[in-house]
A and B are shown apart, each in its own frame.
Chain A
Amino acid sequence: MAVPVSQMYSVASYVLSNKLRGVKRYPLVLMLEPLFRCNLACAGCGKIQYPDHILDKRLTPEQCWAAADECGAPIVAIPGGEPLIHPEIGRIVEGLVAQKRYLYVCTNAILLERKLKEFTPSKYLTFSVHMDGLKNEHDMAVCRDGVYEIAVKAIKEALKLGHRVTTNTTLFDDANPDRVRQFFDEMMDLGVEGMMISPGYSYHKAPDQQHFLKKARTKDLFSKILSRPKGSWKFNQSPLFLDFLMGKREYQCTPWGNPTYNVFGWQRPCYLLQEGYATTFRELLETTEWQDYGTSKNEKCAECMVHCGYEASAVSDTFGTVSGFARTAKLTMVPTSR
């Protein structure tokens, strides 16, 4: 099983408790961006294009802990920028682990091997290493030769020290399904706990028919990649989200499921779109015009199938419908039945 039972139990009890209390909107994963600065400049990355004085700003550990506490999500993902650049990342992680949040530090792993001494292995802490494919594809995606090999070395060292390690992979429509399947084999051979995959988000002010084609291509690509899955593959994400990527289930986006906090505040409405900021999480929930976002509601959302909008929808399906629960149970017990 890719996700430890204690983590599954924690998330399940959190979701069920919110459902039983009739809470309409609750967060599942806090996307905590303690800085925007990165040591890579991946082509097309929408997270790092800022003036230097903004890239030099950092959230303090206290701001990070307060955001997690205020939000209350059981899972915290720390992307960025590159979080390991943050001089106080060790303290940030320590405080969030003390809060018993399940924490995913999303890193390109360039600094990971050197920084590992700052972290204590814990069931709450996972290094989620950015890997966009096999060596050629990954180095092309991150625009620097040699990064794949650095990341592989760091993964091995982190595993040796007893850390939880997963990979996160963004795929675009130029991905080769056979190469992606080989990549899955290679990652599982490394010994990672599980893999996370998502389609990239590419916003073009294009006519709607192109959006639909794009979405259809995404489903086609993920169907080719995920059909006939190997028993050795483990995914650290909702099985129903993978069904959704393959076009087997339809969901509406849950933009409040993965709220984003960074040096500007609480980002509206989601991790990808920047339509403004709220000062508090409560303000974000209460004053964002949620009805304006999601598939068929907003041009910017038309072709999006990204995890930050739909993974929470998939988890809600698991605990909100009999068919969702049954399908999740089946795919968890027999992953090759997809």
Chain B
Amino acid sequence: MTDTKSHDTDGSISLEGRVFRPASAAELAEAVELAFDYRGDVTLGLASGEIIAGYLFNRHAKGECPSIEFFPEDAATPRTIVYSAILSIAFTGEDTANGKSWESWASKKESERRAEAQKVEEEARSRGLL
């Protein structure tokens, strides 16, 4: 079944737009966890000077050399990046889960629901999915 209704982010504040520059390993680990839970792209500032945007989908926080797995937005395969190479994490992409709960949908006015439904349908049609 595809309905899970599992990402109720209503009532919490989205991290969209926030930038974290961790000052310690503990702060970095905390920022990585937030990025891992985030349903949007983040932009990483690396020690090498590289700036890279994409989706952080996994992390290995334990062990001697903690690392993340990250799909750059323009790449077909993921990259593995060690925690120690990360200087900053910016929540630059849209938080795609924000305001998408069932409760939020149900509380909207009928006209708002219809407008939103039409927008989704038009988008699917423009992608050739209908």
Query: Which residues of A are in contact with B by a Cβ distance under 8 Å?
Result: 37-47, 49-51, 53-54, 57, 79-82, 85, 106, 108, 110-111, 130, 132, 141, 143-145, 168-170, 172, 196, 198, 200-204, 264-265, 271-273, 276-277, 307
Contact = CB atoms under 8 A, between A and B. Distances in A.
Interface residues of B, number: 42
Contact of B58 (A43, A53, A204, A276): A276
B111 interface: no
Interface of B: 1-8, 36, 39-41, 54-55, 57-60, 69, 71, 73-74, 76, 93-94, 96-97, 100-106, 113, 116-117, 120-121, 124, 129-130
A85 B94 CA distance: 24
Given A43-B101, A49-B39, A203 B1 contact: no
B1 A51 contact: no
A110 B5 contact: no
B105 A49 contact: no
A51 B41 contact: yes
Nearest to B5: A44
B8 A204 contact: yes
A43 B1 contact: no
Nearest to B108: A43
B108 to A, nearest CB: 9
Given A51-B96, A276-B59, 13 more contacts: A39-B124, A40-B120, A43-B102, A45-B3, A49-B7, A51-B41, A79-B1, A106-B2, A198-B1, A200-B102, A202-B5, A204-B8, A264-B58
B39 A37 contact: no
A277 B58 contact: yes
A110 B130 contact: yes
5 contacts: A50-B55, A85-B129, A106-B2, A271-B4, A276-B58
Nearest to B37: A274
B117 A54 contact: no
A277 B67 CA distance: 13
Given A79-B1, A202-B6, A49 B97 contact: yes
A272 B71 contact: no
Contacts of B101: 43-44
Contacts of B93: 51
Contact of A42 (B3, B54, B71, B76): B3
Contacts of B4: 45-47, 200-201, 271-272
B121 A46 contact: no
Top-8 shortest CB links A-B: A43-B105, A46-B6, A44-B102, A44-B5, A39-B129, A49-B96, A46-B4, A49-B97
A277 B106 contact: no
B91 to A, nearest CB: 12
Given A53-B71, A144-B121, A307 B2 contact: no
Contacts of A201: 4-6
Nearest to B2: A79
A46 B54 CA distance: 20
A82 B127 CA distance: 14
A44 B100 contact: yes
B110 to A, nearest CB: 11
Most chain A C-beta atoms within 10 Å of own C-beta, residue among B2, B41, B58, B59 = B2
A50 B96 contact: yes
Contacts of A82: 2, 129
